[in-house]
Structure 1
Amino acid sequence: MRGPTGDGTALTAHVWASVPDTLLGTLVEWDFRHLLDGITKDYDHVLTELEYITARIESS
């Protein structure tokens, strides 16, 4: 994939999630972050999606 140096297009994604501002929401968010390592897994998944989309765009 070409970088944002003027010779191509950069494909990016913004990862976010929202949980209710309640005790249950706080517990779910803590579990997601610390027990499931959810943030790292989300970023890994998004990178896989961006690589797939990039390959599809560049092959057409």
Structure 2
Amino acid sequence: MAGPVAAVTEAWDKLTVFLYSQLYDERNWAKNKKLAKALGVFAGSILFMRTCGDMVAI
């Protein structure tokens, strides 16, 4: 295979290797879990302040 199909296949293989290394490695999963939790709290606080911010304001 040569050309764009080979390039797409190679890129897809690299992406899947990266995702599997992030999901199934214990050390990487622990870091990613902390990061996802922090981003969730951040996004949740923004949504909370947008919906209930006028009631919280002093």
More helix by share: 2
TM class by shorter-chain length?
0.3 to 0.5
TM-score by length of 2: 0.46
Larger Cα-atom Rg:
2
Q: Tell me: higher relative CO, structure 1 or 2? Use CA pairs within 8 A at least 6 residues apart.
A: 1
